Amino acid sequence: MNPKYIIVGGGVVGCSIAYGLLKKGYQVTVLDGGDSANRASRGNFGLVWLSNKGLNAPHYSAWTRCSVNAWRDFADELETLTGDDIHLEQNGGYDFQFSQQEMNAKIQQYEHLKEVLGTDYPYQVWDRQKTLQEEPNIGPDVIGTIFGEEDGHVNPLKLLRALVKAIKLLGGEFVSSVEVVELSKSMSQTFNVTVSSGRQYQSDKLVLAAGLGSAQLGPQLGFKAPVVPQRGQVLITEKYPPILKRPSGLIRQVDEGGIQIGDSKESVGLNPSTTPEMTAAIAERAIAIYPFLSKANIVRSWGALRIISPDGLPIYQESNTCPGAFLVSCHSGITLAASHCNLLPHWFEKTPDSPNLELFSEQRF
């Protein structure tokens, strides 16, 4: 029998959606590429992060916060089902500041967001003294921090592994190392998906969550899918005993002990390699925050490609020409995993609990 849903793409976005659909009792097949595919879900920073998101797009800030606030329950349920520990910590996070002027500008942006959203915004302003109490290893130039109360981090590889495990435990089919080459909708309203071996899969509905692969596949179902790659380079040090209390957007101590560093953004096409110039720049910024890192041994570095829309915000779009096909694309798939799992199934099924995703439609481009 055909599954109700085919999900094209088995990264964190496709897997969060597949898991959410299976929990609601829908049959799902996930089709995912192989090791040579671009896979942001295996190279990212692992932040579950609200701060700085949607400062000029309040609806994105609100959507992000909704997911961040649902993350604890999402993680608990996933861990109970799979027996895996995905190491979620939501004890807040830092946005370290080096100049009073920049700090004031950021505070103004948060205050504006608060006004527009008509809600409180979970941030605190810490001076150097207070920052030192929490993180005694900060460098002399850090003047303070904007503390994001709801920020946190997770082990993104363990998250992905747990999601794939959950999909299988709930009876979903996960087909890896296949390349989807053709998508169409038949007269009988069935979606046909052809992979490079010639094999075909059919379903009633289809979710295109193929990351950068959506740019090629999307037009076959009437989507614009205007996403492009943006490279991020990341470093990780040798393991340390617990030394950093909380993550920042640039530096975090992972659950295994290494200190992960990285926040670069480069437009270099489909090129995920690392460069000595950028790794040096990243390391320099990190040392300004935590000088002890100047003595750390870097054990690994990698590059990975973000999936970026023209305005940087997610795209949630049902196809106008092939209804029942949905495009889901975003550049914060870890942060948004809880909402993708909990709420997107309602959107696909048009239930009364469907979130209003109108403003994220690709008609805006």
Ligand X SMILES: Cc1cc2nc3c(=O)[nH]c(=O)nc-3n(C[C@H](O)[C@H](O)[C@H](O)COP(=O)(O)OP(=O)(O)OC[C@H]3O[C@@H](n4cnc5c(N)ncnc54)[C@H](O)[C@@H]3O)c2cc1C
Query: How many residues line the site for ligand X (CB under 6 A)?
Result: 41
Q: Cα–Cα distance between 13 and 29 in angstroms, integer?
A: 14
Of the listed pieces 11-19, 50-58, 110-118, 285-293, which binds ligand X according to CB under 6 A? 11-19
- State the pairing for strand pair 191-195/180-185: antiparallel
Q: Is 11 an interacting residue with respect to ligand X (CB under 6 A)?
A: yes
Contact residue for ligand X among 68, 236, 330, 338 (CB under 6 A): 330
244 in contact with ligand X (CB under 6 A): no
As given in the structure block, the two tokens for residue 104 are: 């004031």
Distance CA 346, CA 21 (A): 9
Asked if 211 contacts 285 with a C-beta cutoff of 8 angstroms, the reply is no
CA 186 to chain CA mean position, Å: 33
- Residue with the two structure tokens 């303070």: 144
Angle at 313 between CA 310 and CA 316, to 5 degrees: 100
Tokens of 7: 């999900």
Judged by CB under 6 A, the chain residues 176 through 205 that form the site for ligand X are: 178-180
Candidates 6, 13, 75, 308: give the one binding ligand X (CB under 6 A): 13
Nearest partner of 223 among 340, 320, 364, judged by Cα:
320
Element (H, E) at 286: helix 276-289
Pick between residue 25 and residue 310 the one whose CB is nearest to ligand X. 310
| Binding status of residue 46 toward ligand X by CB under 6 A | yes
* Inter-residue contact 303 to 43 (CB < 8 Å): yes
Instruction: Name the residue nearer to ligand X (CB basis): 14 or 92.
Output: 14
Residue range at the interface with ligand X (CB under 6 A); choices 34-42, 218-226, 288-296, 316-324: 34-42
Work out how close the CB of 329 gets to ligand X at its nearest, in angstroms, rounded to a whole number.
6
Closest approach of ligand X to the CB of residue 127, in Å: 27
Q: Is 38 helix (H, G, I), strand (E, B) or coil?
A: coil
* Near ligand X by CB under 6 A: residue from 6, 28, 30, 33: 33
Nearer to ligand X, 179 or 255 (CB): 179
Nearest to 328 by CA among 43, 54, 5, 102: 5
Report the residue number, 113 or 278, with the smaller CB distance to ligand X. 278
Least distance from ligand X to the Cβ atom of residue 328, Å: 7
Q: In angstroms, what is the minimal distance from the CB of 81 to ligand X?
A: 20
Q: Whole-number minimum distance, CB 285 to ligand X, in Å?
A: 15
d(CA 49, CA 68): 7
Letters for 216-235 (x = contact with ligand X by CB under 6 A, - = none) are -x--------------x-x-
Query: Least distance from C-beta 306 to ligand X, angstroms?
Result: 4
Query: Least CB distance from residue 1 to ligand X, whole Å?
Result: 22
By C-beta, is 177 or 189 nearer to ligand X?
177
Q: Does 154 bind ligand X (CB under 6 A)?
A: no
Contact call for residue 14 and ligand X (CB under 6 A): yes
Residue where the block lists tokens 């030192």: 132
Query: Exposed/middle/buried for 112, CB within 10 Å: 0-12, 13-18, 19+?
Result: middle
Residues 74 and 337 sit within 8 Å (Cβ to Cβ) = yes
What whole-number distance in Å separates Cα of residue 270 and Cα of residue 267? 9
Among residues 304, 313, 325, 338, the one that binds ligand X under rule CB under 6 A: 304
Question: From CA 233, how far away is CA 303, in angstroms rounded?
Answer: 4
CA distance 139 to 127: 13
CB of 112 to ligand X, least distance (A): 24
Cα separation of 53 and 60, whole Å? 7
43/101 with CB nearer ligand X: 43
18 binding ligand X? (CB under 6 A): no
Return the residues of window 331-350 that contact ligand X according to CB under 6 A.
Answer: 331-335
Write out the residues near ligand X by the rule CB under 6 A.
Answer: 8-14, 31-33, 37-41, 43-47, 49, 178-180, 209-211, 213, 217, 232, 234, 304-307, 330-335
